[in-house]
Amino acid sequence: MILGVGLALGAAFVWALASVLSKISMAKINPVSLNTLRLFISSAFYIPLIIFLGLIPNRGWEWWTIVIISGIIGFTIADWLFLEGMNIIGVSRAGILVTPHPILTMVLAHYLLDRPLNASIATGAVMIVIAVLILVSEAMDNKEMSWKGIAFVVTAEVLWTVAVLITDWLVHGESAVLITGLRISSGALGALVFASTLREDIKRMNTKDWALVVVITVLGTILGQYFFIKSISLVSSSIATPVTESSPVMAALMAVAFLKERFTKRLAVSLILTSLGIVLIGLA
């Protein structure tokens, strides 16, 4: 249990740092290109590793189809939408908006996959929902918030939930390295449709831009995804997911400190409620 929770916290930290670095990177390249590049680079790391370790499973076409669909939903589509939304409304606000994700994941994982669920989750869930409502209210009177950005982030959240549930089912009895690599590679396969956009951005990138993309990839995609999936394999998605939702709080604080994003009273209240909600869910 301790190792599983520790890995989930590790995933949360590297995802938070990768989010802040992604915001910096998107000043030069667009979100779809950043997402595509990190998937290509991660695939180039994982596929040889899977082959070297002899992890390729003898599975039927149904299993492979589910892996590919999971990767495309979670990485090609959801990650791209989140980056688009984050680029519009900022790291801190986008991060808080996705905090209901673990609630939905836990409830569905309990009823669909028979994963553990505790009644104390209700209080934490209410706190997180209130935090999101407070933050979204900024859209009513603050030009910094955009309904388009909110729509991107919320859609990504729903798609992530679907992908996590599929991953939870896939990971049982299989290596975390295998599932991580195959899902990321499937996402890279789906991202080929954005090849034309990618070519234009690559022409404008210099050495520093490439270095930043590589760091983002290593932190957020290679390490972060491995930590998360390994955590799921140890403690299930109903526990791993809420623990990783400390990531938005970390990302928000990093964004305020390093990206000079505005720290409003509503953001402060949302952070406090979100933190309390995550703690309550994590203790469930």
SS3 27: coil
187 within 8 A of 137, measured Cβ to Cβ:
no
Question: Between these two residues, 142 and 268, which has the higher pLDDT value?
Answer: 268
DSSP letter (8 states) at residue 259: S
Instruction: Report, in this order, helix, strand and coil percent for the chain, each rounded to 5.
Output: 85, 0, 15
**Maximum C-alpha span of the chain:** 56
- Is residue 41 predicted with pLDDT exceeding 90? yes
Q: Confidence band (pLDDT; 50, 70, 90) for 138? A: low
Rounded to the nearest 5 degrees, what angle is found at the Cα of 254, between the Cα atoms of 250 and 256? 120
The residue whose two tokens read 């934490």 is 124
Per-residue model confidence (pLDDT) at position 14: 93
Per-residue model confidence (pLDDT) at position 228: 86
Cβ-in-10-Å burial (0-12, 13-18, 19+) of 26 comes to middle
Domain that holds residue 126: 2-282
**Of 38, 8, 37, 35, which Cα lies nearest the Cα of 250?**
8
Per-residue model confidence (pLDDT) at position 115: 66
- Consecutive H or E run containing 16: helix 2-25
238 within 8 A of 115, measured Cβ to Cβ:
yes
Q: What is the pLDDT of residues 163-217, one digit of tens each?
A: 878 877 776 777 878 988 999 999 999 999 988 888 888 988 999 999 999 999 9
Question: Between these two residues, 248 and 185, which has the higher pLDDT value?
Answer: 185
84 within 8 A of 28, measured Cβ to Cβ:
no
Number of domains in the chain: 1
What is the model's pTM? 0.79
Q: Taking the CA atoms of the chain, what radius of gyration do you get in angstroms?
A: 18
Question: Between these two residues, 176 and 128, which has the higher pLDDT value?
Answer: 176
Type of residue found at 160: W
Type of residue found at 56: I
